[in-house]
């Protein structure tokens, strides 16, 4: 409860940052977000392929009819 009140007070009464963000910083932040999304998608693709391969191997092992000798 105290944490929520503290966060609310910080949001209502912000402190001055005394910082400067040049135009290049915005571009860098956008590139960071795009890179994080791309990395996440590649990671999902890799793990999805592993899960898919595991499922197809499991389904293939249980589907033995005995006709291929």
Structurally, the chain folds into a number of domains equal to 1
Q: What pLDDT is attached to residue 42?
A: 96
Residue 7 is assigned to a structural domain of this protein? no
Residue 16 is assigned to a structural domain of this protein? no
Residue 50 is assigned to a structural domain of this protein? yes
pTM for this one?
Answer: 0.52
Q: What pLDDT is attached to residue 34?
A: 98
Distance CA 39, CA 51 (A): 18
Q: Per-residue pLDDT for 69 more than 60?
A: no
Q: What pLDDT is attached to residue 35?
A: 97
Number of helices (H), then strands (E), in the chain = 2, 0
Could you tell me the residue range of the domain that residue 37 belongs to? 21-59
Residue 40 is assigned to a structural domain of this protein? yes
Residue 53 is assigned to a structural domain of this protein? yes
- Given its phi and psi angles, is residue 60 left (phi above 0), alpha (psi -120 to 50 degrees) or beta? alpha
Q: What pLDDT is attached to residue 58?
A: 80
- pLDDT digit string, tens, across residues 8-47: 988 888 778 788 878 898 899 999 999 999 999 999 999 9
């Amino acid at each position: 409860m105290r944490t929520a009140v503290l966060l609310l007070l910080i949001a209502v009464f912000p402190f001055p940052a005394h910082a400067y963000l040049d135009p290049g910083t915005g571009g860098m932040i956008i590139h960071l977000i795009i890179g994080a999304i791309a990395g996440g998608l590649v990671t999902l693709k890799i793990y999805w392929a592993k899960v898919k391969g595991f499922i197809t191997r499991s389904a293939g092992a249980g589907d033995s009819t005995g006709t291929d000798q």
